[in-house]
Structure 1
């Protein structure tokens, strides 16, 4: 019992320390108003996104960067995605939509779509976005400025999350919670070793010359978590990569219901643990089982100390990610339950090879 309590507090203190480092170092993309003029190719793979894509396209049209092209690739949608995009592009000359080619057997869908988009792009920079996002002013100028300042081959942003339903609020905050109390984000740039890597496929901003020479998506054509794998490749190839928080410049509504959020997160959750079921179970035991053991001791001082660290951790993560701290504190127990559900769904899908996303096996 004493050993379990000791390990629990070591784990909690380490996570608190990482969160504190992230909170103090403030790993956010700074807002930069300086105007740049390089051509940016905004590349958007879409599959069955008729309900989402117009919001993104309209936000691009309204943002303050002028030198861009938008290429949308319809990846065999069986809804009205292509016609919605085609109608929009017909009214705006900087936008165009193309149909994707048949998916080869040795590729995953999104990776192949991004690879095809890069072949069509003419820009000095490639910006890959997901269809369920919306961009705001100063985003592109700020990203280009960062690429120049730090000589980056890849800049990836963790977007601010829009959550409308109770189900979303009980699941989606887990993404920033896990990220910001396990990895000091500043180290992605500072540590040149490729094992220290993080990235989000929701915003991948590449130096186009470097991308064309390396064809990053081709190198990870069969990887589920292609974003992190690409960041590792960028760094191992001798280029600089950085991952930051979006600082309100781009938002995303990842899922629109509780069930959709559980299925979405379980799709690639195990990949974040390098597909090691044992490592994932150890993490869950330390994260959830450990605090339960401390509570069972009925030692008020230990419980207060533990709860205080957890509260401070949740507050710092919430503030850094632009989320409601009070709500995340209130929903923390439910979010931990949902994390457990997601983990076991991920394990079940991995063992039975039954992971499916947008109608395709992953």
Structure 2
């Protein structure tokens, strides 16, 4: 049995929008969103709570959002500022633990198992962190406290915005039993529908099921659903997160249907990808990248990806993949093209001794 961990998941409330409202208090009660403009076929990165009342949400195309609510105040993304504030938030975390796993600029896991502050109470630490973020940075954060990572993440969403939710080790079994499967991280609409069709609505339903049923239906992810439904999550908070891939993608100004137009877009993205690889992995020569991928998003917002291993990092090989994935179009127009590579694992270079 593992030592029981104390994990906090901190999630900033509508982070980019909250930073913008802090910089300009006149925006506080107005519906605002941060994101790309209609001309660039942008999407909303985040929106504040007044905007959410009109049905707006992150990742919604800006054009659609403005049709729904024409009076929306749209602000451009100010990444330099958000990174700076994110760094300040992280410095507050470091007062309590160095065992921090950032998931993005606005959320992170903290393992406070061995933390001595606040008499070692994870709940009090989470409350204190939220208070310091508010007092020092004038922003609100929500927190989830639990002995397992996935439960801490679910908990931080329970009392949003500006709330905290605690699941003690003794409460795990009861909490999990009634937990809707749709709350499990990674279970989206499609998987949720499939689970419902199998008569599975809560983790309690899955507990009555044999693991092989989920494995056959969902593969590896089926195992994760089964484990979470039994309150099992062995993952530790990982401060040394390793990047797995490098990619570049672009939402097109106009939808395209012709493969030649797709190749033109690929030719434009290829040098950008090359630059990104050199910046992200300066020590790995390009010829070591042997797994390439192409991604398309169709006009109905369905996304598809095609990857190929053991091929050279060459423009021609991306074009071959693009031609193959183009077959999946089935008459639909394309609104986004993306390229990606998987970062090869770094083998420890063993220095052979001559003696």
Tell which structure's C-alpha radius of gyration is larger: 2
Larger relative contact order (CA 8 Å, sep ≥ 6):
1
User: Same fold judged by TM-score > 0.5?
Assistant: no
More helix by share: 1
User: What's the TM-score once normalised by structure 2's chain length?
Assistant: 0.27
More strand by share: 2
